[in-house]
Amino acid sequence: MGKPLVALVVAGFLSATVSRSAAQSAAFAVEQQIAAAVLPLPLALRAGAGVRGWDAEFLPVSLREGSNGMICTADRPDNEEFDVRCYHQDFLAVMDRRRDLVRGGLDAAAAEERLDREVREGALVMPERPTAGYRMLGPIEAYDPTTLSWTKAIHRWQSVHFPYEAADEMGLPTEPEGTMPYVMESGMWWSHVMIDFAGGDSTEAATMRATGTFDVELTPPPSPDGPAASTGRMTIAKRLQGDLEGTSAGQMLTGMTGTEGSAGYVAIEEVRGTLHGRSGTFLLQHSGTMTRGAPQLSIAVVPDSGTGELTGLAGEMTIEIADGVHSYVFEYTLPQAP
């Protein structure tokens, strides 16, 4: 497989791009809202989550459509709290109805009673299966939007909603005990199992976000005797700029099929550089497939590959190409420096 063909394969995986012209300053603000809104979710769920922001009247507006059933709501900018939450779309309608009742003048207790009546009368439909929720809440000064990081002052938790189920029927307590799960609102419409992650110690790894650009060169092997025409091998050389600054070197294997737009590649690269001021090395593992033009690409840190000040590094990277410029977004965790 020649170099142009390999480059075409790789470009196919990176074809979902975002234009970054100067005229998109408003879109950048939207990107910041989206990036913060999905933070409560596990990394594997963030890219597929839908996101809602707020209009001038502080009513929810769609910022991004989702594909995995989770919908996250961005932080409201009119108060001193950082509050982002994600619910399954089937349960979100119930939460929206509760909000509308309160906005309509009912106090919390009256809104709960009214909502319960609507559910029992069939006017409001509850999900037929358990659904998950995720939330982060704390003082706004404990959140850094430039790096998407937070301190231990931010309270984080997950919940699994079991409408009208009682705690004793699930074998769970109704009071918190450390980080053990417990049930809130037992037997009510909002009955849910809480999994609390509040109060991490000073060594807890914060979720960070690094962005920047890179240049890449793909080089075929020097020997004319290569593998079959359907497969290829290339060396990778990158120079990275931005929050992650340094170089990387690696190997890539590619495979083409007889079906147009279907291919695959794997790669390992060693990154040497500085990440938000901390230096060291780590390995990135790529795994990508393209099915008739639809790409799926995963780039993740190889476990325990970090060295130096990057020891303990974990995370995932996404790559975009816009107007011929390669850029990266790297969401990672790294234990605090001793």
pTM: 0.57
Residues 32-50: pLDDT tens digits? Answer: 889 899 999 987 788 899 9
pLDDT digits (tens, 9 = 90+) for 215-234: 999 998 776 555 556 788 89
Give the span between the Cα atoms of 287 and 297, in whole angstroms.
6
Please tell me the distance from the alpha carbon of residue 47 to that of residue 204, in angstroms, as a whole number: 24
- Looking at residue 47, its pLDDT comes to 85
- Rounded to an integer, the average pLDDT of 310-338 is 87
Tokens matching residue 264 = 């695959």
3 state DSSP class of 221: coil
CB 85 within 8 A of CB 134: yes
Residue 309 makes CB contacts below 8 A (sequence gap 6+) with 278, 279, 280, 337
List, in sequence order, every beta strand (DSSP E) within 117-243.
131-139, 143-144, 149-150, 155-161, 182-184, 192-196, 206-219, 231-242
φ/ψ of residue 292, rounded to 5: 50, 45
Task: Quickly state the pLDDT bin for 17 (edges 50, 70, 90).
Answer: very low
User: What is the per-residue pLDDT for 337?
Assistant: 54
The residues, any chain, with a CB within 8 Å of residue 100's CB and separated by 6 or more, are none
Question: Residue 313 has what pLDDT?
Answer: 93
Q: What does the alpha-carbon distance between residue 210 and residue 275 come to, in Å, rounded to a whole number?
A: 8
Average pLDDT, the chain: 85
Token pair in block for residue 5:
């063909």
Residue count of the chain: 338
**Predicted confidence band at 205 (pLDDT cuts at 50, 70, 90)?**
low
Give yes or no for residue 2 having a pLDDT over 50: no
Residues 144-151, mean pLDDT to the nearest whole number: 79
Are 89 and 50 in contact, with CB atoms under 8 Å apart? yes
Q: Which residues pair with 274 in a beta bridge?
A: 245, 279
Strand 70-73 with 50-54, pairing: parallel
Q: 3-10+206-334 belongs to which CATH class?
A: mainly beta
Spatial distance between the Cα atoms of 219 and 263, rounded to a whole number of angstroms: 19
Instruction: Answer whether residue 15 shows pLDDT above 50.
Output: no
Q: Which position has the higher pLDDT, 201 or 213?
A: 213
Give per-residue burial for 244-281: e unless 16+ CB within 10 Å, then b. bbbebebebbbbbeeeeebbbbebbbbbbbbbeeeebb
Q: Are 114 and 106 in contact (CB under 8 A)?
A: yes
Residues of the chain with CATH 2.40.350.10: 3-10+206-334
- Rounded Cα gap, residues 282 and 297, in angstroms: 19
pLDDT on residue 293: 83
Amino acid residing at 68:
N
Q: How many CA atoms lie within 13 A of 152 on its CB side?
A: 9
Residue 6: pLDDT above 70?
no
Collect all residues with Cβ–Cβ distance below 8 Å to 36 and sequence separation of at least 6: 74, 75, 82, 84, 143, 145, 148
Contacts 24+ apart (CB under 8 A), 60-69: 60/96, 63/30, 63/33, 63/34, 63/37, 64/34
Model confidence band, residue 22 (pLDDT cutoffs 50, 70, 90): very low
pLDDT score for 30: 83
Model confidence at 66: pLDDT above 60: yes
- Cα–Cα distance measured from residue 137 to residue 83, given in angstroms and rounded to the nearest whole number: 5
User: Would you place residue 3 in the very low, low, confident or very high pLDDT band (cuts 50, 70, 90)?
Assistant: very low
Residue 225 is classified by DSSP as -
- d(CA 37, CA 106) in angstroms, rounded, equals 28
Q: What is the pLDDT of residue 225?
A: 54
Helix ranges, 38-148 (H) = 43-46, 89-103, 108-121
**Pick from 123, 150, 173: nearest CA to 40:** 150
Q: Which residue has the tokens 């409001």?
A: 124
